[in-house]
Structure 1
Amino acid sequence: MARFDRYMLSQLLLLFGFFSLVLVSVYWINRAISLFDQLIGDGQSALVFLEFTMLALPYVIMIVLPISAFVAAVYVTNRLSSDSEMVVLQTAGASTMRIGRAVIYFGLIVAVLVGILAHILVPSARTELAGRSAEISRDITARFLKEGQFLHPASGITVYIRRITEQGEMKELFLEDERDPAAVVTYTAEKALLVRGDTGPRLVMFDGLAQTFRPETGKLSTIGFADFAYDIGALIQDGDTRTRDLRELRTAVLLNPTPDDIASAHGELADFLYEAHDRIARSLLSVVVPLMGFAALMVGGFSRFGVWRQVVIAVVLIILVQLIANSAEEVARKDETLWWLAYLAPLMGFVMSGILITLSSMSKFRRAAPANTGAAA
């Protein structure tokens, strides 16, 4: 039996790696498409795009691993049943729980991987991603110094530069400010320079025209200027004062947050506690999910018509567990004393798996009883 455990575990890990690679690739490509449109549209390079997609990868892997574990458990169990290997083991007297020991080992391995991702890699990647996003938001050159393109560095702001010289001088600048719907201001200038001021960066325009259009009255006022300084500091987000995301914080901080931690992040104490315990619950769910898939397929036993009914039952049970997790989250985030609800979903999963394994053992006993009676006769 120990040899069978190693054999089944190796099959589970092999299929788990394959399905994880496929699902992560699909999920990652879908995420990369949206990032590509956002970053390249803002004038960022392909290296920045690659960096952002790589930083988003740990979270994608954490989401995909339990799904891959479930699919691997169902696939391997079905294949062993179809090849009559399960029948041979059950005939030899092995119980469903004994056969499923390899699935439990497999679930524990997946739980360790999910735990490393949830507690270490994902928070670190989110922190780095938030920092890089703040740096890009402060990158004036990437947001303004792009010639021949209509840029939108902020909502309601449109910038167009016909040409940029080697000295950084902007020729034939167009800037439209629509942040105030009651007064839309359009600036045009023969040339402009980007300089640093005491209160932030400023765009100094020379030999230009400022046109103010008021939609309510339909009037257009025009003012010419020899030089004009436009304060663009408000358009650049200050990354040093950004609000931290709860998902960036370490689990130890979430379990025992200080008032400063709560003040610096968007959330209440209930959010902190639930986020911490939810990370632990994710690891427990990684054990439950493949065990539920295995147990559901073992209930029906061998059938030449396939096990699609058992697969449907397993999928429905997984959906039910996820619904329980979603409902528990909604309640637990409103009351800091209900953090234990984070463990409700894996607990229900263990209970369902135990019931399925018990039913499988009972059905095996009922099938064996008539056979023994016939042999005695």
Structure 2
Amino acid sequence: MARFDRYMLSQLLVLFGFFALVLVSIFWINRAVVLFDSLIGDGQTALVFLEFTALGLPRLIATVLPIATFAAAVYVTNRMMSDSELTVLQATGSSPWVLARPVLVFGVCVALFMATLTNFLVPLATAQLKEREQEIAQNVTARLLTEGTFLHPTKAVTFYTRIIDTDGVLRDVFLSDRRDPLMDIIYTASEAYLLRNGDATTLIMVDGLAQRMEQDGLRLATAKFADFSFDISSLVKSDVIAETKIANLTTPALLRSWDTVQETSGRSAGAVAEELHARFAQPLFCIIAALVGFSTLLIGGFSRFGVWREIVIAFGLLIFLDGVRGTLSSEVVSNAALWPLLYLPSLIGATIAVLMLLHAANPAWRARLKRRRASL
């Protein structure tokens, strides 16, 4: 690799790391606020929050990689043009194809990283995240042992305890059960205990009152009790999803079980094909994002006023290609035979980049074409 290639590639990688870090931080903060509120407010610890955050990072990184790749290519190209570095290289005989070589290598490096994410890390992290979500949903203790807060383990259940003693005794307990549409039951007790027996969980309430409101006729019945046991396992128990999630399978596992994954996942053949081929189309799009950003700015040439017009055009092209990719994904989901369409945005982007590099390599082709027409 030539010295210029190493120099430009190092600049691209450094700026790519910077933009990726900034974008991941922004998206992570937005997601972390919601995640923190739902987990900590539901009685989970900070370690659980950090675990969920870490498991969500691979998908988050995969989302911002094309944007970071494009931003790095545009920023480095703009800076080198402002410093007249590219202008000097072109004046000394370096063709646009030579100048685009480190950008292509940069795009391939990002694409390899992206392929590792989409084919292995993201499915593994997603599968682990879903498994932990199911475990959290079935964790009765974490859902109920939060003092001073009205909690809703399920949509039709409300639980409250004023304070929890150090020995685990729940003081001043309130439990509203509205799962039966014909009857609402409210339990109040001065103290209560949670007992675990395998997968079953029982709430033992002491010195309390049960109030039952029948919706038909609006009749209210009350009963005092000295102690009362109530099985609350069903209140927060989540049904474990038996079907296979195609997004949770790594690419080798998806290919091995191609014949059965459609049946076990409950998804259409188009959805399976879209999931598989998107994992290869996304890395290719990173290469195209780098080349489109570089070639668009290159045809603008040096200007004391900057190349903001070319930057806007490059960004518009990226938005257009991404929009085409989103539209074609829905078509593939409808018809699995159309899976080659997923690679069409990358093909269009590569064609645009090649045409712009051809224009940069032959800037006088329009003048020559006019002279030929005039001579005829």
**AA in 2 matched with 1:295:** S
Q: Distance in 2 between matches of 1:273 and 1:237?
A: 34
**Mean CA deviation greater in 284-293 or 239-248:** 239-248
Determine the structure 1 residue equivalent to 2:101: 101
The 8 Å contact of residues 135 and 239 in structure 1, kept in 2 or not, is answered as no
Q: Note the aligned Cα RMSD (angstroms).
A: 2.4
Give me the whole-angstrom Cα distance separating, in 2, the residues matched to 1:254 and 1:294.
36
Distance in 1 between the 2:271 and 2:227 partners?
52
Q: Using the alignment, how far apart are the partners of 2:166 and 2:203 within structure 1?
A: 17
Q: How many Å separate the matches in 1 of 2:119 and 2:73?
A: 25
Contact kept? 1:161, 1:174, Cα under 8 Å: yes
Q: Partner of 1:298 in structure 2?
A: 298
Partner of 1:307: 307
- Decide whether the 8 Å contact of 2:140 with 2:233 is kept in 1: no
Task: Report the residue type matching 1:76 in the other structure.
Answer: V
Of 218-227 and 136-145, more deviation after overlay is shown by 218-227
The alpha-carbon deviation at position 259 of structure 1 amounts to 5.8
Number of the residue aligned with 1:140: 140
Alpha carbons of structure 1 residues 364 and 339: separation in structure 2 relative to 1, 3 Å: same
- The residue number in structure 1 matching 2:373 is none
Contact map agreement 1:95 1:361 (CA 8 A) in 2: yes
TM-score by length of 2: 0.90
Provide the rounded CA distance (Å) in 2 between the counterparts of 1:355 and 1:216: 75
Please show how residues 246-257 of structure 1 align to structure 2 within 5 Å: 246-257=246-257
Does the 8 Å CA contact 1:134/1:237 hold for their aligned counterparts? no
Q: Distance in 2 between matches of 1:161 and 1:260?
A: 48
Corresponding residue for residue 186 of structure 1 = 186
Q: Distance in 1 between matches of 2:201 and 2:342?
A: 47
Native 8 Å contact 1:20 1:64 kept in 2:
yes
Cα deviation, 1:160-210, whole Å, max 9, x if unaligned, reads 123434553433321012334543221112333333468832323333222
Residue 12 (structure 2) pairs with residue 22 (structure 1): no
Could you tell which deviates more after superposition, 323-332 or 140-149?
140-149
Which residue is equivalent to 1:352?
A: 352
Indicate the residue corresponding to 2:49 in structure 1: 49
Higher mean C-alpha deviation, range 51-60 or range 223-232: 223-232
One-letter amino acid of the structure 2 residue matched with residue 35 of structure 1 = L
Which residue identity lines up with residue 122 of structure 2 in the other structure? V
Q: Deviations over 1:98-138 (max 9, x none)?
A: 11001000000000111111111111111121121122112
Tell me if the contact between 1:131 and 1:239 (Cα under 8 Å) persists in the aligned partners.
Answer: no
| Cα 1:92–1:166 shift into 2, 3 Å | closer
In 2: Cα distance, 1:88 partner to 1:204 partner: 82
Across the two proteins, how many residue pairs are aligned to each other? 369
Counterparts of residues 138-217 of structure 1 (less than 5 Å): 138-196=138-196, 200-214=200-214, 217=217
Q: Could you report, residue by residue, the CA deviation over 1:215-263 in whole angstroms, capped at 9, with x for unpaired residues?
A: 5644422233344333322223347545443221111233453565334
CA gap of 1:28–1:83, structure 2 versus 1, over 3 A, is same
- Residue aligned with 2:93, SS: coil
Task: Give me the whole-angstrom Cα distance separating, in 1, the residues matched to 2:16 and 2:164.
Answer: 53
**Once structures 1 and 2 are overlaid, which stretch shifts more, 112-121 or 176-185?**
176-185
Residue of structure 2 equivalent to 1:372: none
Q: 1:239 to 1:52 in 2, by over 3 A?
A: farther
In structure 2, distance between residues paired with 1:199 and 1:306: 67
Equivalent AA in structure 2 for residue 17 of structure 1: G
> Structure 1 CA distance, aligned partners of 2:165 and 2:350?
67
Shift of 1:71: 0.6
CA distances 1:321-358 after superposition (whole Å, capped 9, x unpaired): 01111111111011122222221221111112112212
Counterpart Cα distance in 2 of 1:355 and 1:269: 36
Letter in 2 for 1:269: A
* CA deviation profile, 1:248-292 (whole Å, cap 9, x unmatched): 111123345356533443522221121111011111011110100
* Structure 1 residue matching 2:9: 3-state secondary structure: helix
The change in CA–CA distance for 1:130 and 1:239 in structure 2 (over 3 A counts) is: farther
Structure 1 partner of 2:220: 220
Partner amino acid, structure 2, of 1:73: A
Post-superposition offset of 1:153: 1.2
SS in 2 for 1:101: helix
Give CA deviations for 1:123-162 in whole Å, capped at 9, x if unaligned.
Answer: 1111121121122112121111233332211112111123
**1:266-281 mapped onto 2 (5 Å cutoff):** 266-281=266-281
Match of 2:337 in 1: 337
In structure 1, how many angstroms separate the alpha carbons of the residues matched to 2:170 and 2:127? 35
**CA distance in structure 1 between the partners assigned to 2:17 and 2:147 by the alignment:** 46
Contact 2:40 2:46 in 1 (8 A): yes
1:98–1:199 Cα change, 3 Å: closer
Q: Say which is worse superposed, 84-93 or 217-226, in terms of deviation.
A: 217-226
1:17-96 counterparts in 2 under 5 A?
17-96=17-96
CA contact under 8 A between 1:19 and 1:68: conserved in structure 2? yes
1:123 matches 2:123: yes
Cα separation, partners in 2 of 1:220 and 1:344, compared to 1, 3 Å: same
Structure 2, unaligned runs of 5 or more:
370-376
Structure 1: stretches of 5+ with no match in the other structure = 370-377
Going from structure 1 to structure 2, the CA distance change for 1:89 and 1:163 (only over 3 Å counts) comes to closer
Match of 1:318 in 2: 318
Question: Alignment identity in percent?
Answer: 45
